[in-house]
């Protein structure tokens, strides 16, 4: 147990988890399944872009694919929503407000149907998916399933059938408490404080880039805050300081992935940039005593290629644990032998992966929450010194986010240094008309993290 003295927390984290409403039998409640999307067509087939693919009727009037009939009362309700959308950080003029009022003054008409339907669709897109176009989202790779859970056409039909235009659109707002806090911050910030208001708008929109509901339990890290949170039933159970990627090509991307397992006492396959580029392979093979002391094992293949694997141990570059979350960027959470770095104010020091303090505490908690091991079993595995992967039965999402204004770990609204210069393109997009035809796919290059582990 002496190896774990700095990590184990005497059941405090588990007690907090219980206090958050999780029973001993089911510490990780399974979220209700979301409605399955219609399998008969792709989203693009079911809901083609409104502007680029109009249907031309024999009268030569342009009828948009999602156009439906609007009564005067329904259109007035839509006008009221648009006029109040500034409270959500959006711009009323983006949604044909002036044209809608002109059409409404003439009563029911085909023109009113088209303008109201178009404005509703644009509102759905921005409230559900975010106003910021993909081109302004730097290293953002989150797949937002809200498009499938809240299809535009169904929302339009539901709104008109129920007559509750405002309520239908309101269900798209992010449920995370920080979105509401930013909305409150916007309301009390004077119009004269333009810079602060724009920063609030940018960070409100970032919440819309994510799934509306993050789930009953999840890990979330705010990269420029250098903090990781374990959240259960909307309550923060534990927080951990982090070390994140250096600015540039090794900046940590924004992801939403799934924790599939906890690896205790991991091995580290050394990347070829170090094995070959820094001569580690030849040194390991030519100096076996030095290699043994440092935990390296090297093999040379028939083609001459050298592979080096660092064995488990306190000096392993991954430390004593890593959380497996398969993704094309090779990003994951892990321990580190360089724990002094957590005392730095600037902790953008890694090559992309996220190092966490009190890593064994986190690993054991994750193993227990995921029902992969009991506390005693996890402690025994950690103490064994042997590579052991504990699968997570109840998968947990992990969100790697980038907010420059958010609630800090003490609950106070705070701003954080824009360490990767990601604010500028988002702020610039707020000054431009909304992009009407836009992709749902990330546009930035996927950068595979090859070496997270040299501190220099």
Residue 30 lies in a domain: no
Residue 341 lies in a domain: yes
d(CA 189, CA 443): 33
Question: Do residues 433 and 351 both lie within one domain?
Answer: yes
Contact 391, 101 (CB under 8 A): no
Question: Do residues 347 and 426 both lie within one domain?
Answer: yes
Question: Do residues 170 and 189 both lie within one domain?
Answer: no
Residue 79 lies in a domain: yes
Residue 435 lies in a domain: yes
Domain that includes residue 156, residue range: 49-129+146-175
Q: In sequence order, what are the residues at sequence separation of 6 or more whose Cβ sits closer than 8 angstroms to the Cβ of residue 175?
A: 212, 213, 214
- Phi, psi dihedrals of residue 167, rounded to the nearest 5°: -65, -40
Question: Do residues 367 and 407 both lie within one domain?
Answer: yes
Residue 325 lies in a domain: yes
| Angle between helix 110-129 and 194-209 (nearest 10) | 90
pLDDT at site 57? 35
d(CA 263, CA 382): 9
Beta strands in 22-71 (DSSP E): 55-56, 62-63
List per-residue pLDDT tens for the chain, 456 residues long. 444 544 444 445 555 554 555 443 444 444 444 444 433 343 334 333 333 333 333 333 444 568 999 999 999 999 999 999 999 999 999 999 999 999 999 999 999 999 999 999 999 999 999 999 999 999 999 988 999 999 999 999 999 999 999 999 999 999 999 999 999 999 999 999 999 999 999 999 999 999 999 999 999 999 999 999 999 887 899 999 999 999 998 999 999 999 999 999 999 888 887 898 889 999 999 999 999 988 999 999 999 999 999 999 888 989 999 999 999 998 999 999 999 999 999 999 998 999 999 999 999 999 999 999 999 999 999 999 999 999 999 889 999 999 999 999 999 999 999 999 999 999 999 999 999 887 778 878 887 765 444 443
Question: Do residues 68 and 90 both lie within one domain?
Answer: yes
d(CA 178, CA 167): 21
Question: Do residues 351 and 438 both lie within one domain?
Answer: yes
Q: How far is CA 129 from CA 114, 153, 342, in A?
A: 22, 15, 35
Question: Do residues 327 and 181 both lie within one domain?
Answer: yes
Residue 25 lies in a domain: no
How many domains, the chain?
2
Question: Do residues 71 and 183 both lie within one domain?
Answer: no
* CATH number of the domain encompassing residue 238: 2.40.440.10
């Amino acid at each position: 147990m002496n190896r774990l003295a700095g990590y184990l927390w005497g059941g405090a984290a588990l007690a907090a988890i219980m206090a958050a409403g999780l029973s001993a039998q089911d510490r990780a409640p399974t979220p209700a399944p979301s409605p399955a999307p219609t399998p008969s067509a792709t989203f693009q087939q079911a809901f083609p872009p409104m502007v680029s693919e109009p249907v031309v009727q024999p009268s030569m009037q342009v009828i948009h694919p999602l156009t439906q009939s609007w009564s005067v009362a329904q259109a007035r309700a839509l006008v009221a929503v648009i006029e109040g959308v500034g409270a959500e950080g959006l711009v009323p003029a983006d949604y044909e407000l002036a044209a809608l009022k002109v059409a409404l003054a003439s009563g029911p008409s085909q023109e009113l149907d088209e303008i109201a339907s178009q404005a509703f669709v644009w509102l759905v897109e921005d409230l559900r998916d975010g106003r910021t176009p993909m081109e302004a989202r730097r290293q953002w790779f989150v797949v937002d399933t809200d498009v499938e859970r809240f299809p535009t056409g169904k929302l339009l039909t539901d709104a008109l059938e129920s007559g509750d235009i405002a309520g239908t659109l309101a269900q798209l707002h992010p449920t995370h408490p920080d979105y509401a806090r930013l909305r409150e911050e916007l309301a009390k910030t004077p119009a004269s404080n333009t810079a602060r208001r724009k920063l609030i708008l940018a960070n409100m929109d970032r919440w819309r880039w994510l799934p509306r509901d993050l789930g009953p339990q999840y890990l979330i890290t705010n990269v420029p805050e250098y903090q990781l949170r374990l959240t259960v039933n909307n309550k923060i159970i534990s927080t951990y300081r982090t070390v994140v990627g250096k600015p540039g090509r090794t900046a940590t991307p924004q992801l939403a992935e799934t924790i599939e397992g906890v690896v205790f006492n991991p091995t580290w396959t050394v990347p070829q940039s170090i094995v070959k580029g820094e001569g580690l392979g030849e040194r390991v093979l030519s100096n076996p005593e030095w290699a043994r002391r440092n935990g390296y094992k090297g093999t040379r293949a028939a083609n001459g290629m050298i592979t080096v694997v660092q064995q488990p141990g306190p000096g392993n570059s991954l430390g004593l644990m890593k959380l497996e979350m398969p993704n094309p960027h090779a990003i994951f959470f892990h321990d580190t032998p360089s724990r002094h770095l957590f005392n730095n104010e600037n902790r953008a020091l890694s090559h992309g992966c996220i190092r966490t303090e009190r890593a064994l505490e986190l690993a054991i908690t994750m193993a227990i929450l995921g029902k992969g091991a009991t506390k005693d079993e996890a402690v025994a595995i950690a103490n064994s010194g042997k590579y052991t992967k504990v699968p997570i039965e109840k998968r947990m999402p992990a969100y790697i986010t980038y907010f420059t204004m958010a609630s800090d770990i003490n609950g106070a609204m705070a701003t954080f240094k824009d360490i990767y210069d990601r604010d500028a393109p988002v702020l610039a997009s707020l000054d431009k008309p909304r992009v009407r035809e836009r992709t749902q796919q990330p546009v930035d290059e996927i950068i595979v993290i090859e070496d997270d582990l040299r501190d220099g």
